[in-house]
Amino acid sequence: MKKQFTLFAILFSVATTISAQSVSNEAKPQKPIQNSEIDSLIIKQTVGVAIDLLPPILSATAGDFGYSAQLWYGYKKFRVRGVIAGFSTPDNITGNDDFTDLKTTATALIFDYFLKNNFKGWWFGTGMEQWNNNITSKLNDQDYHFKNYVATAGSGYIFKVYKNFYIEPWAAIHYVMDNNKIAVENTEYKTKKIQGELSCKIGWHF
């Protein structure tokens, strides 16, 4: 479990540093910003957090609890995201009736590029993920663990709802790079090579 949170620990350290700098800057006297200047104001760097709605919704349909959290750092038009998510896959989309109760913990490091300033509008990104899976065979009622290493690419759009609180619909394509599989008797389970994902995030940044 420590390995899964290492990425978040690093990004949290960066976030704390930047947050402290932000508070320090706010304490200094600043020239009032005119209303006409707000739209052209450029946020050069920031940190943010977000939750993805798909893992809890998907898990709920399987009768389980799911979660997703993201911590990110942005500089000019670039953003780096640390992601952790845990979810259950319903049996009817697992892909093999001889297996059940597929649970996945995913960690990821993603790099994004925004077309506009101020971390809003369209972004395009790519990165790497690790999926730690657990699945149960119906043939012998045993649990099996396996990992997948995944390349991902996606895009989304950030709508600023109020100040820096935002809604972020997004989509991605995942390519599973390994051939890990679970074989029991005359049947086997392996993760589909190419998978699509469509979801929405809710987040906030400094």
CATH number of the structural domain 2-205: 2.40.160.20
Q: Which residues of 144-166 are buried (b: 16+ CB within 10 A; e: fewer)?
A: bebebebebebebebeeeeebeb
Lowest mean pLDDT among 11-20, 84-93, 101-110: 11-20
CA nearest neighbour of 103 among 72, 77, 133, 58: 133
DSSP per-residue string spanning 54-122? HHHHHHHHTTS--EEEEEEEEETTEEEEEEEEEEEE-GGGTS-TTEEEEEEEEEEEEEEEESSSTT-EE
Q: Which residues pair with 129 in a beta bridge?
A: 108, 150
Over residues 35-50, the pLDDT tens digits come to 433 445 588 899 999 9
Q: What is the pLDDT of residue 144?
A: 95
**Signed CA dihedral, 41, 43, 48, 50: sign only:** positive
**φ, ψ for residue 101, nearest 5 deg:** 60, 55
pTM of this prediction? 0.79
Q: Which residues pair with 99 in a beta bridge?
A: 137
Q: What is the pLDDT of residue 37?
A: 37
Q: What percent of the chain has pLDDT over 90?
A: 73
Helix (H, G, I), strand (E, B) or coil at 13: helix
Over residues 120-173, the pLDDT tens digits come to 999 999 999 999 999 999 999 999 999 999 999 999 999 999 989 999 999 999
Mean of per-residue pLDDT scores for the chain: 85
Place of tokens 């994004």: 112
Domain boundaries, the chain: 2-205
Q: Which residues pair with 153 in a beta bridge?
A: 126, 173
Q: What is the DSSP code (8-state) at residue 28?
A: S
Q: What is the DSSP code (8-state) at residue 160?
A: E
Q: Which residues pair with 125 in a beta bridge?
A: 112, 154
- If you average pLDDT over residues 4-33, what whole number do you get? 45
